[in-house]
Every structure is written in C-alpha cells, then in structure tokens.
Structure 1
Amino acid sequence: MTILLPSNEIQRLKILAQYQILDTPPDTRFDDLAFLAAQVCQAPIALIGFVDRDRLWVKAKVGNINNELDRQLLPWDEIVAQQGVWTSQGHPPLKMAVNGTSQTLPLYAAVPIFTSDGYALGLMGVMDDRDRPLSPSQQQALQALSRQVTALLDSHRDTLPASDRNGQFSSEEAIAYPSNLKIVKILESITDAFFTLDRQWRFTYLNSRAEQILLRNRKQLQNTHLWEEFPELANSTFRGEFERAMSRQVTVHFEEFYSLLSIWLEVKAYPYQEGLSVYFRDVTTRKQAEAELLERSYLSTLATEVGTILVQGGTLPDILERCANAIVQELDIAGAKIWLFATDSQMLELQAVAGQLSYSEAFPVRIAIGISIIGFIAHNRQPYHTNNLLKDAWFGASTWAEEEQLSAFAGYPLIVEDRLIGVMAVFSKRAFSVELDNTLSWVANAIAVAVDRSWAREALMSRRESLLFQLANQIRKSLDLNTILTTAVSEIRNLLNIDRCQFMWCWPHQAYLSITHESAASDIASGLGDFSPTDTTILMEKIQNLETLRIEETHDSTSELAEDTDLGILQASLFHQGISSQLLVPLETRTGQLGAIICSHCSGPRPWSNSEVELLQAVTDQLAIAIDQAELYAQSHAAAFAAKTQAEQLSEALETLKSTQAQLIQHEKMSSLGQMIAGIAHEINNPVNFITGNLTHASNYIEDLMDLLKLYQDYYPNADRTIQDKTQDIDLEFLEEDLPSLLESMQVGAERIRQIVLSLRNFSRLDESEMKPVNIHEGIDNTLMILQHRLKPKTANQAIQVIKEYGDLPQIGCYPGQLNQVFMNILSNAIDALEASSELSAVVPVTSYSSSLPLMPTIWIQTKYINDQWIAIHVIDNGQGMSEEVRSRLFDPFFTTKPVGKGTGLGLSISYQIVVEKHKGKLQCFSEVGKGAEFIIAIPVAPTEPLT
C-alpha cells in the first residue's frame, strides 16, 4: 500500500502527533459534540474522526459504526479542499460498516477539522441510509461545531507536558531517504518494534527500541531466525501471508491478540530490497479506547431507544417488554426482567422478560418483599450489583448462574418519590462497567417514572369511565332528568374533590339563569334559585357561545390584580360570595336548550387541568343526550300504544298483501304463459300439418317424375345436345340420389316441430285444471325440451349435461300444469347456478349428496318410489351452492340473490305453495357453499296428508 502524500502531509502528521489524541480513552466532550451534530442534521449517525497516515480513526460517534476506516476509501483531499461543508452529491458516497453486520451506510456530509495554523487533522461527518441535503443553517451549525472540536484539541494540547509536544520525526530526516527507506523511517518513528528480514528469514537490521522490548543484543538477534524468535508467528496464517509478501512483493497487515505478551499487536510487513520490512506496534491502548467508545455508543443508543419507547407510549406491558428487549439487544447481555409492586398483594409480580434465560427459583414470577435478592433490593430501596455472581449469589442462584454461564448481576429498584414501583434485574456473562451501571440506573429511573405516570393515567381514566358509565346507566334506567342531574353534580364533586358543583339552565331570550341542582359541602350556603345576570353577563355570553370559562383565582375589586372588564367584575362578585376559583362548561340539547355545569372551590385557588376540563365536557355531552332522550321519551310515550297497534295491523295487512300478490302474480303468470304457449302451439301446428300432409304427395309426385325421367333415358339415350348440357349443369345423377334424402330430412324436421308443439301443449295443460293421474316423467321431459336451448354450449360457458335416473313410478294424482311450473322454476335456477359457476371457473367436482357428478356442469334428476303413498324427485347440480343464510330464506316471497331485472323472487315461493299447499307435499333444499345444491320434491301418489 502506497499513499501519495500531499506537500504538507509530513508536517500535518507531525502536528497531529503533537496533539496525542489518537489511541486515547473516549472523551465526553467530543461525545457531546457528535451528539449535537446528529441532532442538528437530524441524522441517526454522526462521528468525529482524525486521519493519520493510513486510516480514519473515530474518536467520538453517535450510532453503531466501526471505529476505523482505510484512508484510501476516504475522499480526504476533496474534504480538505472543500474547506466548508463537503457533501457526497455528485460523488460516490463513502461507505462505513455497521458493527456486527454486513450493512454499510453512506457518509453524505462532512466538514474538515482545521488547526489554527490551517492543518487539517480530521473531520466531523453525518451518515444515514440515504442522502439528506443540508440546509444553509445546518451547514453553518456543522461548521461551528467543528470549530468547537478545534478548541477542545487546543485545550487538550495545552494540558500536555512540553516534552510531549515535540514531533516524533522531522520532515528533513524522512525526505533524505529513498522511497522505500522513507516509509521505513516513518514507520520506525511510530512503531514499538522494527526490523528487516532477508530471504532466509534472518534479522538483518534492528532498531534500539526493539532491542529494549525483546531484551536481546543486536548481534545475537541478527543471527536469529524469525520463526525461532517468534514461534507464535509461525502459524499457517502469519507464515503464509509473510511468504506471499516476500514472493509477490505485496504488503501484509495483521491485527491479532498476542497471547504471550497479553497485549494487542499490530503487525505489518512491507517489501524491502531482498526481504521484508516488519514492524510490531502495541495498540492495546487504542483497542481499550475503542472498546470504551463502542460501549459508550451502545449505552447512548440504549438511552435513546428507551427514551423513544417511553415517549411513544402504549400499553404498560408492551412498554416494559420493549424496554427489556432493548436492554438485552443493545447491550448484548444474557437477560433482563422487570417486576412491578402490586399494592393489593404486597408482592412483586413479573411483568417483562427478555433474553434466553431458563427458569430459576431465585427469580420467580411473584416475590415477597425481603425474600430473595429481588425482594432484598425492593426492601432496601438501593441498587445491588456484583461481577462475581457465582461467589456472591443469593439464595441458591449460584447453581443456576453456573448453568447459564452468568458472571454478573445488577438489580435496580424502581422508585418514584420514595414510593416503590418495582425492580429491574439485568444478567450478564461479562462484568459491568461503571458507565454501564450509571446508564442502567438512568433507565431504571425512566421506567419507574413511566410506570407511575401510566398508573396515574389509568386511575384517572378509570374514575372518568366510572362516572360516565354511571351517568349512561342512569339514563338507561330511569330517563328521569331530575335523577340524572342530581347524580351528575354529586359524582362530579366527589371526583374532582371540590367544594360545590351546580347545574344551571340558561334562557337568553328571557335574560335569566336558573340553578336547579347542586351538590355542596355542609358549610357552604345553597346557591339554588333564579337570578338575572346583571353583574354576570359574561356567564350568559359564554353559555350562548358554548365556550368554557376557567377562573383559577378570584380577586376583590380593590385588588391590584382586579381588571375593569366583565371577567374582572365576575371575579369580584365570586370573591364576595366566598368562591376562590370556578369552572363553567356549557351544553346545548338537540332542541336548542342551553345549560351548564359549574364547579366551584371556596378554600383557596385551584388550577383546572386539561384532563378535568375534558372530563366535564364528556359529562355535559352525556347530559345533553339525557335531556334529549327524556324529551323524546315524553313525546313518544303517549303514542307508543297506538303506534304499536297500528304496526301490528300493518304487519298483518302486509303479510296478507304479499300472499295475495304472490297468488295473483302466479295466476296471471300461468294464465298468460298458458295462453301464449297454447296460441303458439296452435299457430305452429297448422302450417306443420300442412307441410306434413303435402310432403307425402310431394314424395309421390317426385317419384313419378323420376320414373318418367328414367324411361326417357332408356328409350332416348341419345338426347339432344341442349338436353345433355342441361343434364350436366344440374348434375342429374346427384339430384336422383339426394332428392329422397332431402324429403326424408324435411319429414324429420316436421316431426320434430310436431313433438315440440305437443310438449308445449302438455306443459301448459290449460285444458287440465283439475287434479288427474299423470306420468311425472313426461312433465320433466317436456320441461327439459323447452329448456333445451339453455343446455347447449354458449360462448362463455360449456354445455350442461343432464343425467336422468328415473325410477319405476305409478301414475301420480296432481295438477299437471302447476307441477310443470315447479319443474321449470327449479331447473331454471339450477341452470342459472351452473352458468354463474362456469363463468367463475368454480364448478365443483362432486357434491356432498352424490359421488357420481362429473367435473363438467351437470344436472342430475332422480325419481324414487318411496312407498305406496309417496314419490320423491331429486334435482341436484354441481354449482357453487349457497350459504346457510341464503338457504334459510330461499322460499320467502320476493327474496332473490339475482341482479335487478334477472329475477322477482317469486319462483321458488310459488313452487313451495304448489308443492306444500296444493299437493300436500314437501319441498326441501340442501346446500353448502362450494358443494352444489339439491332440491327434493316429495308428493303423495294420491291426495293425502303432508309427509312427516
């Protein structure tokens, strides 16, 4: 690695060395400036770092990032040249790693830190997961903070002994060497041990400082082999990398824990002539400083996160759980637990647990005060911690601590104003530092305050909800306005702990007020009665404008604090009445009636909190509702019986109307349908009969003509040329073959039309209005023939298959036309369901009522002879079925699930009347969503009682 040094780099490094700021313990003053930079720029990460020859070393930081960065990755020259605030816009952003993860974040803004002589020693920067353009004011603040860093540096240097302020090498001495030797000289001045090696790994040169460390003379060491002198370096990693450096002329760099000396050593080897230049550097102090800096970063992050959790709020268990998890995650410790003190049981009860600790009898869910270490902490109200848990464990916790590999424990009482709130306990596998203990103490205090506030808020809300519940309950119970107002003023006085509470009516047009209800202490005179607001016009104005009036302290008219205003006049009037503070909350009913609740205190000034005002506003809302309900109740009570009677009559009339309407619609529908079908059948039947009758004669005539043509061909084989041409043009041979087939096809078509006409006549049954024995299968077949056009495949749907399984049924006594209408309605609905399912690609493979339905849209019709008296007709489809709610209302008049214009909701209702009322039978439907539907029509063979 070779760094091109700027013209003043050697002097800059010398100046940096004079400050002795690298590899030193963290300084809270730098931490505070980094925190301010993060706050000003609204960034989650901020840093203060100093740049030496080959790295950016982070002195202070906010956020969890690495403590070092290779200088080659840093746009150092650009940042210094900028002088002001450098931003990453237009440049590839600098990436810094987040500790413990593979994540990197960009440095999007930085300002150089200059000495008073103009040497750039480092930078102050901010980072985020995205660029955040800085405003001019933020840039100015960042520059001002960088100047504060310079002032701290100067102050730090001034406190150093004069002998320590000298540079460790001179620029003249370094420049005198060739390129490689210059690097060697620079390294020699900043390392603890330096030497060179030849190809045989023997020492060729050793400086005096290394002699002192290794305790050998130069001659002996020069004849010693590297791997013999340092057997700890002879492992595969070091030796392999050294050999790579020797053979390929590259630089190697290690930072390993040197167990022999129990220190951290930084090891570097540079290619040098016929060997390597190697140096060791003791970085133990820096490592310790980095560890302290990292711990401070963790503690700062923990404090920030706990503060954020407490500010965000939420339920108390959720807050405690999140705080415990934050402690475990941010500090990387074994576990944390929080107990809260329950006043009813006088015991500590576990509320939050974080970490992977197993159960221990020493730290149970419920702990009595004074029992176990947690109870001891609660009883003495003092923190307790130990870094040797196995030796100093309490009440049998040592075995558990040994199993969990725990070495440290800390417990903190949660105290607010000498009141015990609970105990927080933290368990760790490593020792607690002083900084960690201080931070956990702060966290415990913050949690205690949050818990106390939560309890106070819950108590206030409970009292408020209790009052509102009582008022609402009173409204529901009696609807008596006098009782409601009496309860309201009494409960409000008790809740707010005041001397008097009153309810006042206001009549602006009559210009007077009336206090009708009051709850007051026994030694306070009654204020009930009517009065004109001669000296209290402000009360009338506040009530009319629905404005709250707060008076926290009244004054005599002669007082210096008295004001010559309406409010001042009212204060003086209240003062003479012995009232020291007052709160008025107005209300308005739905009818426009105005009123107010007045809270008064007579034993000194009393501030009215926002929560109390909000409570009274909620109470006045309930009172307004109560008054409206009382008025409505009085108005409606007189007409309730008449309205009820009228409603019953209307309900009966409506049911009768619905039944009559359904019957009329059925009759009209069947009458119109029968007339139309009969007319169509009659009109079609006439031309069909004409065609059918003439087809026989046409066939005979054509047969005679064909015979005559045959004779001509036999006796006149050599016809005229014109006849031959015509014969060829009309293809006489084809006509002779095709003409009989054509006549046969016409005969079949005429017969098909005749069958359709017969089916229409059989379906209408206009001539059969009385009950008579019929073949049920004929009615089903006739209905299917009429619906044949809907069973054929269409553009969006495939064909509907009909499977008929007819049993051996006798002649059934029924109304044929009406029963055909039932078949028509049920089969039409089945076709509608299958068409809808086919459009949704949702045809089910099998229903719960049959295992033989295929995957294609199918209607299965089955007839059964139940016994000598009953038959059953099953119509099953494999559509999507229906819900229980729809199935239960299926036969209600006018109920339909089809869109407007697609159905009237009368088909199945009429079918139900035909089957049940007309035929004394039973019509049932079984269906589930996704399992198709099954209709069962059960009718008696002859008129009989309904099937049970």
Structure 2
Amino acid sequence: MHPQRECDIQAAPTHLITLGAEVAATLSKDGSLSEVLQICSEIIAHYLKTTNVCIWTFDQKSNTLTRVAFGGKDIYTASLPKTIFCQEDYLENLKARLLPCNFRNTPFSSRLYTLVVENNLVGAIILFGKEYFTEIEDIVLGWIANNIGLAMERFLAREKQQNRGETLLLKLASKLRHCLDFNSILEIAVKEVRDLLQIDRCHFLWYFPYCQNPRITITHEAQDSNLSSLLGDFSAERINTLFDKIRNLEIIRIDAVRESSLDLETQEMSIDLGITSLLLIPLKTHSGQFGAIACSHCNGSRYWSDSEVELLQAVCDQVALAIDQSEFYAQTRASALAAQAQAQQLTQALHKLQHTQSQLVQQEKMSSLGQMVAGIAHEINNPVNFINGNLIHAKEYIEDLLELLHLYQEHYPNPARQIQDKIEDIDLEFLLEDLPKLLSSMRIGADRIRLIVLSLRNFSRLDEAEMKPVDIHEGIDNTLMILESRLKGSGKNRSIKVIKDYGNLPKIECYAGQLNQVFMNVLANAIDALSEAEEKFQIQNMQIHIVTKMLDSDSLIIRIKDNGAGMTEEVKKRLFDPFFTTKPVGKGTGLGLSISYKIVVEKHGGTIECLSEPGKGSEFIIQIPVRAIASFN
C-alpha cells in the first residue's frame, strides 16, 4: 500500500480503525468463505452506517460474479441479480451493472471495489449509503477490500487444496480397492501424494525393529528426475531417534531440518541425503509391520500445514488398510491354492484307488475265470479224447459187423421167418445206410468239442504271463468262437453277421491273454449294442466288421465296427472311465472298457479310441506296436 495511505489510515477516526481491526480478525477465523464474508459485510454496514453492503465472488471458469454476502438494511437486495455474467469490459461497466436500476439516479452515494489479486479478479464489494463517503473512509475501505481479496484467494486456495486432498483420497480408495498387488499399492500411493503436495520427494519405507540388524528399507519412491534414488537399507546405528518415533507411531513434522530439534546424527544423515524439510507419517499393519510415508523437500524450508498432515494421515490409513487387504487376499489365495492342491491329490488318490480296485477286481475275475476255463477244458478234454479215440475203433468194429451181415445175406438169402420179421421191425436197410452217417456226425461233434476246448485254453493263456510273439488273428478267432452262441442268435434275436477283413500281419509281441480280454470286451459290447438296437429300432442285417492291417512298419491297427444305434458325445467322453456304464443294474460293471484302455495304453504302449455318432454305429480303433516297448514292459 502507498506510504501516504498508511499514514492516513493510522490517522483515521477510532470507528474506522475498529472496523479494520474487526474485519482483519474475522478474516483470520475458521469457517466457510461465505460465513466469514457475511460477518465482514455486517461489520462494514454497522460501522459505516450504510444501507447495503454486498460482497461478490468471481468464478473464472464460468466468468460470472456470484453474491455470497449481504449486510445492512435489506432495501435493494431484491433488485440485485444473484449472478452476473462478465464480458471483457466488465471492469469499466461493473458498477453500472451492479447498481440497482431504481437507485442509479438517486443522490445516494455508492462505492464499488474490485477485488484483484495479482491481476486476477477474485470478487467485488459494492456499498450503498445515504451519505457521501469521505476520503478517509474510501482509503480504509480500499485497504479492507484488499485484505478481503487476499483472504478470499487464501480461502479458495485452501478449499482447492482440500478438494484436491479429498479427490486424492477418493482416487486412492478407488485404486487401492481394486488393487490387490502389494507393490502396485505403494507405487500408486507415493506418486499420487507427490503430485498433490508438489514436493521434491515422496517415499514409502518399512521399519524392521525385530530382526538381527534393525533397519529401515526404502522400497518405493516418487521424486524429481534430477534427484538421486534413495532406495535401499539404512541401519539403526545412525538414526536411532527416527527408529523410536516410527515404532511409537509419532508424526515427524520438520519445516527446516537445520533448525529442528532432531538429534545431531539424524540431522546429519538428512542433510547428507539432501533433505531440508521432512514430513513423515508412520503406520502399522494388522500383521504388526511398521511402515511410513515420508514427504521431503530438498531446497530450503517448507511449511507443512495442518491440512497436509491430516491428508497424509488419511492416506496412510488408506494404505495400511489396503496392505492388510492385500495380505489377507494373499493368505486366502495361499489357503485356496493349498486346498486346491490337496483336493487334486485326493482326486488323484481316488482315481488311483479306483484304478487299483478295478484292476484287482478284473484280475481276480480273470484269474478265477481262467482257472475255471482251464479246469473245464481239462475235464472235458479227457472224455472227449476218450470218445474221439474210441470212435475209430467203433467205426472199424461196425464196418466188420456190416461186412459179416452182407456175407450172411449172400449165403443165406432166405432166412427164417422170425429173422425176416426182425429185419422189417428194425428197418435194416435204413440202419445200414444211416449208421455210417451217425458215426461221422459223432466224429464231427467230438472234433467240435476239441476245438472249443482248445479255444478256451488259448483264450485264457494262463501259462503265458510274459510277452511273446502271437498271431493276433488267432486271438480274435478264438474270441469269436467263444461268442458264437451269442452271434447266432436265438428266439426273437436274429443272428449277427461277422465280416473279417484280415491283413497280412506278422506275429506281435504282446500279452496274448490280456489282448484277448480286450477283444472279448469290445466284441461283447458290440453284440450288446446290436441286440439293444434290434429291440428298439428294428435294425436289419446286423453286422460286425473287423479290419486288421499294418499302419506302418512298427505298428498295426485293428478296427471293430458295428452298425448299432451309436452313442452321444457325453457318453463317448466317459467311455473309458472306471465304473461308468450305460447298461441296467446287474448287466454291467463299467470295468471292461476301462481295463481294456489300461491294457492297450499302459501295458502295450498303444492307443484305443472310439468313433461314434447317434444312429451311425460305433467303431473301436486299436493301435499297438509290433514289438514290445521297453518302458511298457
């Protein structure tokens, strides 16, 4: 202010000095801007005995003046607009625009003071009075207007800072709420705090008081690009006081390090790091870890306001909560992963148990079946051999008797009456003709029994526990012979035609008995499928087509296809699962194809798959190596 004006104010009447003092005191009080300006307008109206005092604030974004306070007698307020849009010539025409129309031509005095701070309009004050304002009153009012403008700017800056702080907290809360990564949480916090407070550095540090060598570790930083990084460890030997304050969760608020009450070692360390001003807010997580957010300046002192301390404290609370949330999430995730791993282990153990159980059941079943088949084959084989051997002699004896009978007929053509009656009773001519045929049929039946016994022995192969070269076609034929009664059909069931398309195959190194078991399971399932399809869909010409051929020099392929009803994709996916069956209770265990899969894949190193669609039948494709693979022996 001009020196002459300061002298004029000092020489002003007492009521004007009191007016200035009360306005200055009001401007220093806490409260909202509108509340403070309202009190100021009432004070001015009281001491100057004016009719009206109106105070307006200016919004640069909308370019409008808004009335926020009114003091005095409410005579002209209704005529004043609440908001006024300001054009480029607002300074010249502002008074005319603010004066009420019915007041402009009156002899009453008025004063308009534009509130300008650093060439920026922040508001305006207009006064209407019944008397003319004196020069000293005009000077005092100009001084008051200047202070009100500065106060308004300070209020707006503080409000802006508070709004930015609230925005930061909301922004942090939103980001931290959606972020469960530990490092990301701290990176977001230090960057946002530095941007808001416009400081040189912002760090996050951890304090480890209970380890063998207590230390502070700075893990995250946001700082000016010209400054060197402070990331790393700092031992307790140099900064014991700082350690104690963090452990006790004390706020460190130092406007100027050199003038602070910090111990000499902490001051020296701060100066060595280039820190001239420091604000540090400690925090403690739910798990008991100590940390802190440190804001620092590197060029002279910096005043840390109460609002900044409160803001940083709120940020620390948000960060601590987010860290707890992250740790809880990590623990929950670890527990979930452990539970998932345990569930997988239990599932694998269950599958292994089911597999072992199915193997034991099938092995016991096949062992009992094999022993039974071997016993039956042995028991049948002895009498069949006896019958087969004696049929030769019986044929010779009967042929001799028939020759003797012919001789009697030649030499004694006219036998006694009693013999002639007997010849007629027994139909001797038919007997002589049919007896050789009867013997031949008996011989064929005995041979058939002998072949069946041989097929049973070959199928069980109890004496062949190791891999050996075998003829795959022989195993398939033996299986078909055992299933022949089901293939021929009986009663309402029609017969099933088997088409064999055998290729030229070498002998295969395999477990013959186990592969025969696979053929039995696949062929029996094909017969069941055809029988079911015949009953439900009246399928004609039921067929099973068997194809064998070499796939390459090292492996062969066996295809067994039926023209039954086929199966759905859901059934096909579970076809080789243990204990899965589509057959009624009591007609299937669900082990046959599962065991077949284990035999082909695990025992022989081959593959088995099924191609099927509803209405188009099913085809099993078995591929096995010609020679045994060492890893599957």
TM-score range, shorter chain: 0.3 to 0.5
Task: Report which of the two has the higher share of helix.
Answer: 2
- Highest relative contact order (Cα 8 Å, sep 6+), 1 or 2? 2
Task: Flag the structure with larger Rg.
Answer: 2
